[in-house]
Amino acid sequence: MSKIGSYDERVKNFNWSISEKELGYKEGDNINIGWYCSDRICDQGKADKIALNWEGLGGKIKQYTFNYVRLCSNTIGQFLRDLGLKDEDRICLFMDKIPELYLSFVGVMKIGAIAQPLFSAFGDESLLVRMDNAETTAIITQRKHVKKVRKIRDRMPYLKHIIIVDYDGKHPLQEREIAFDMEATEKIEKLDIFPTKAESPSVLHYTSGTTGQPKGVKHVHYSLIAQYLTSKWVLDLKDDDVYWCTADPGWVTGTSYGIIGSWCIGVRQCVLDVGFSPLSWYKFMEKYGVTVWYTAPTAIRSLMKAGEGPIRENDLSKLRHMVSVGEPLNPEAVVWALKVLGMPFLDSYWQTETGCIMISNYPGMEVKPGSMGKTFPGIEGCIVDTETFEKIEESGKIGLIGIKPGWPSMMRTYWKNEETYQSKFQNGWYIPGDRAYIDEDGYYWFVGRDDDVINTGGHLVSPFEVESALLEHEAVAESAVVSKPDDVNMEVVKAFVTLKPGFEQTDEMELKIMNFIRKKLSPLAMPQEIEYLDKLPKTRSGKIMRRLLHAKEWGEEIGDTSGLEDD
């Protein structure tokens, strides 16, 4: 405890220069995330230390040292450069959690290009809207996903290269496609790292809002300063730790803390690229001796369901620190963990936009199950009034979370959407769009989102995107998408649809529509239930009343329906 300092002590003496100093960075210097995550660690004498333990399907395993991460990322960087790719080009990373994903990320950073990671379960439509917005120059992908790219490539004239990392030579490569075999390529010992500065763009992550297309959140290399320190102080990463972040780098947790956080400290991390099962997770933790674990409430709830049996079958005695993120962590999960694993899950709260943890249960601080904890030292937060955005001084009063702008990993804009970016600031506060209250001890308690975005299993889904995709199905006339409660995922997607004349409201049709969305968007966005209506509830001006359908699903008071269209 005393080593990292108590929370109050840290708050009192806080300055981001603590992080800058530890990283040997001074204002005006070059700062490159790729260099910090590999070359610098090697320079510190940790070249032969294991950086990554990877396990995939069928028990396939791989192990990489920091030196090998350095060499592989150099090699990928050189390959991309030889293709003519350069700084600020958007390079999409569209892979499962294979080693190439992690190494490409570092390689892309090194040449100063912008990494655009996208979740590999995305369908062609999800991929297209995001690549279209970013005008992506190249995509790095796998054989199993290239079909989706081929389907949309004609609509992406800006996309020059489709790089396949596991090409097997069986079928001819098609237009713009090129194979890259990392293992077989001769490694580049020295790469000229692009001299990125603090404000040079690094990562573009897409996040969904209620209206409009997903927004590209632009981050810069200076974000490292915040990701480094939060990894040390909240995830409590230390040199001899074995760290496992279960998030996919298609989402921000998987890059900020699934690549950058541990590697810039020189901490070994583990990646498991197989589907979820409680037993395989515990076995993985035993096998590699995981000490620090960063995961999400949906996974924790599934583990709780599986009970203590699979825990007892494995030796998890090395585990010493567990942190959760992405959705509300139920108090029962904290208490359960304390009972069966001997320590609580510490909740943490942040967003794609914030780039690093904003609020958390700081190690050593008293845990209040159900609370997100307190703001990270150096982060000034409060609750503001939902209408006036004035700070609410009273404890216990619900309002919107407000955060004082200015921390290193704050997004710099939404890609080609400065207007929406500006709208996130009110009365001098950055407004993440979540409702909460602060108790008398300064702990934050999450209440709910302030918009219609669905948080399913820790992943945000835009009702707008699902509604638009539904309308593309030949049978659907109108649609309204809301969340419905779910034991494990907390919320899942539910769609109400009216069908065009000549189509029947059958179970078969429901399955067809579900599949259509799964393929086009993703399994996350697929409605778990489709309810047929003859007519959607609308206001007199013709707007669909999602609020009414939402209230019905959650068994809430329907409230004022005076605007509702008459029958």
Beta strand 215-220 pairing with 413-414: antiparallel
Is residue 56 within 8 Å of residue 223, measured between CB atoms?
Answer: no
For position 98 contacting ligand WT7 by CB under 6 A, the verdict is no
CB of residue 447 to ligand WT7, shortest distance in Å = 9
- Rounded to 10 degrees, the C-alpha dihedral 31/37/39/43 comes to 100
Return d(Cα 531, Cα 496) in angstroms, integer.
Answer: 5
For position 104 contacting ligand WT7 by CB under 6 A, the verdict is no
For position 253 contacting ligand WT7 by CB under 6 A, the verdict is yes
The pair phi, psi for residue 180, each rounded to 5°, is -140, 120
For position 443 contacting ligand WT7 by CB under 6 A, the verdict is no
For position 434 contacting ligand WT7 by CB under 6 A, the verdict is yes
For position 39 contacting ligand WT7 by CB under 6 A, the verdict is no
For position 349 contacting ligand WT7 by CB under 6 A, the verdict is yes
Residue span binding ligand WT7 (CB under 6 A) among the ranges 6-14, 263-271, 321-329, 543-551: 321-329
Residue span binding ligand WT7 (CB under 6 A) among the ranges 85-93, 172-180, 348-356, 416-424: 348-356
User: Of the candidates 68, 122, 288, 350, which one interacts with ligand WT7 according to CB under 6 A?
Assistant: 350
Beta strand 161-164 pairing with 138-141: parallel
Q: What is the 3-state secondary structure (H, E, C) of 44-76?
A: HHHCCCEEEEEECHHHCEEEEEHHHHHHHHHHH
User: Of the candidates 249, 432, 457, 527, which one interacts with ligand WT7 according to CB under 6 A?
Assistant: 432
CB nearer ligand WT7, residue 72 or residue 245: 245
Strand, coil or helix: 360: strand
**The residue type at 120:** S
Of 209, 171, 265, 199, residue with least CA distance to 27: 199
CB of residue 47 to ligand WT7, shortest distance in Å = 32
CB of residue 216 to ligand WT7, shortest distance in Å = 13
Return d(Cα 229, Cα 224) in angstroms, integer.
Answer: 8
For position 444 contacting ligand WT7 by CB under 6 A, the verdict is no
Per the listing, tokens 């994903």 go with 101
Q: How big is the chain, counted in residues?
A: 567
Return d(Cα 479, Cα 552) in angstroms, integer.
Answer: 16
For position 399 contacting ligand WT7 by CB under 6 A, the verdict is no
User: Of the candidates 200, 455, 456, 522, which one interacts with ligand WT7 according to CB under 6 A?
Assistant: 455
Of 303, 269, 304, 329, residue with least CA distance to 455: 329
CB of residue 251 to ligand WT7, shortest distance in Å = 6
For position 294 contacting ligand WT7 by CB under 6 A, the verdict is no
Structure-token pair, residue 182: 């990392």
User: Of the candidates 150, 449, 518, 547, which one interacts with ligand WT7 according to CB under 6 A?
Assistant: 449
For position 460 contacting ligand WT7 by CB under 6 A, the verdict is yes
Nearest residue to the partner ligand WT7, using Cβ? 352
Strand pairing partners for 293? 244, 322
Return the residues of window 324-343 that contact ligand WT7 according to CB under 6 A. 325-328
* DSSP secondary structure letters along 92-116: EEE--S-HHHHHHHHHHHHTTPEEE
Return the residues of window 190-219 that contact ligand WT7 according to CB under 6 A. 207
For position 72 contacting ligand WT7 by CB under 6 A, the verdict is no
For position 34 contacting ligand WT7 by CB under 6 A, the verdict is no
Note the residues at the interface with ligand WT7 (CB under 6 A). 207, 252-253, 325-328, 347-352, 372, 432, 434, 446, 449, 455, 460
